[in-house]
Each structure stands twice: as structure tokens, then as C-alpha cells.
Copies of this chain bind each other. A is one copy, B any other.
Amino acid sequence: MAITATPEPGGDASDQTPWLTPDEKDAWTGLVSLVLLLPGRLEAPLQQAAGLTLFEYLTLSHMSEAPERRLRMSELAYLANGSLSRLSNVVKRFEQRGWVERFPDPVDGRYTIAALTDTGYGVVVAAAPTHVRSVRQFVLDPLSAADQRALTRIAAKLRVRPSDLSQGMTGPQ
């Protein structure tokens, strides 16, 4: 793959960086493929059927499941795995299409609440089957039950809270 497995000519013996072993390289290469290739594959059906990004779908979808179909922007951003800035842009577009309404949280005016309209709810319901189908096709069907459990476990270990990012840390396990 890269300058990942062998000390290249040019980096001499004083090099402190531990290079990757073949096994590590395989794991990393595999993960890179997933991370670079899967989004496009999973978005294509959603794009075609509903004109939605994966991130947009997740956004609408989380709102549709929340109590009263509404969430604070910051929580929604976390749930949908995106930055607040990204979410803000997305929700603005949704608002212009009449899928979502935004207003300050009556409890604490610093928060903004995003609420799914009936129209917006209709959009998710219409898009959901397409989404589920592609998830099955590209992710679940190729994996055994053991694989799925392993995937869940691995993802949990690799999922890092933004708050933990600042400090270089030695995570558990």
C-alpha cells in the first residue's frame, strides 16, 4: 500500500517510527477501503430515489424517531455523526423545502430545536425502504452473524468522542 510496511530508503536507522506489520497493514488497508468506498455505494440509491445524502437521511431519520419528532441541533449533530456547522447547513436547506422547522428552545434560548414537519416525515418514510435495502445488500448480507457482532464491537472501540480527541490518550483495551 504505502510507506507503511517497510522503512523506505531515505529514512535511516535513527528513525523512531514503528512501521506497520503485514497484518496491521491488511487491517488498515481494509478499513481505508471501507471508509473511502462505502459512502458512495450507500448513497447512490438514496440519491437516486430520494435525492438525499446519507448524512441527510440520518438527520431526518433521527428526528423522526425522537419524542415529538424534534431534537436540539447539537444532539442531532452528534447522533448523525456530523459537525454542527454541517448540520446547520443541511437543516437550513430542509427548512427551505418545508421539511423542518427551527426555533429556539423555550427551556434555554441558547439551544435551537429542529422539528420535523409532516412533509418531512413523509420524506423519511418514503426513503426508508430504499435505505434498508441497500444496507442489507452492501453490508449485512455479505456478513455472517459473527462478523456482524465483531463489526459492532470494533466500531464501538474506534468511535471516539470529540472531547477525547484533544489529548493524545491511551484508550481502554
Contacts and interface: CB of A to CB of B under 8 A. Distances in A.
Interface string A55-73: 1011001101100000000
Contacts of A125: 3, 8, 10-11
10 contacts: A2-B57, A4-B128, A15-B129, A17-B133, A23-B149, A31-B38, A34-B158, A37-B81, A37-B160, A41-B165
A33 B1 contact: no
Mostly, the A contact residues are helix
Interface residues of A, number: 80
Contacts of A165: 41
Interface in A99-138: 121-122, 124-125, 128-129, 131-133, 135-138
Contacts of A31: 34, 38, 139, 151, 155
A75 interface: no
Interface string A142-162: 111101111111111111100
Nearest to A81: B36
Contact of A35 (B8, B35, B121, B148): B35
B142 A23 contact: no
Nearest to A128: B3
A13 interface: no
